[in-house]
Amino acid sequence: MRKIVLLVLICAFIAVCTDVYAHPPSDIKIEYNSQSRMMTVIVTHPVNNAEKHFINKIEISLNGKEIIEHKISRQDNDKYQFAGYMITDAKAGDTITVEAYCSVSGKLRKEIIVK
């Protein structure tokens, strides 16, 4: 019985430690150039090991409709993930939403209004 309790406590400790080190992105910077129709995205996500804990997906929506799903296998570096997208259908007044997902836990969503 003691071994089972000890095993459960160890598993719980490991689960808590994983959650402590896992965190969602801390910021998303979005810039859209109406002339070139290019959007740049910088997702701030400081990590210790960008191969195991990273931004694994970025979703782009235009006026609430998903237009891009970008799956990522590892983060660019241990501070951020950079991405560039051509958005040809955006017009002045449209809303572009960017949602970035952490491979371990959490997500962050930001949006801009096209000028």
Cα separation, 45 vs 24, whole angstroms: 7
pLDDT value of residue 10: 55
**pLDDT tens digits, the chain, 115 residues: what are they?**
676 655 554 545 554 444 446 789 999 999 999 999 999 999 999 999 998 999 999 999 999 999 999 999 999 999 999 999 999 999 999 999 999 999 999 999 999 999 9
pLDDT value of residue 16: 43
How much is the pTM?
Answer: 0.82
Contact 92, 34 (CB under 8 A): yes
pLDDT value of residue 54: 96
List, in sequence order, every residue forming a beta bridge with 70; answer none if it has no partner. Answer: 58
- What number does CATH give the domain 23-113? 2.60.40.10
- Residue 97, number of CB atoms within 10 A of its CB: 18
| pLDDT tens track for 33-58 | 999 999 999 999 999 999 899 999 99
DSSP assignments along 31-96, one per residue: EEETTTTEEEEEEE---S-TTTS-EEEEEEEETTEEEEEEE-SS-SSSSEEEEEEE-TT--TT-EE
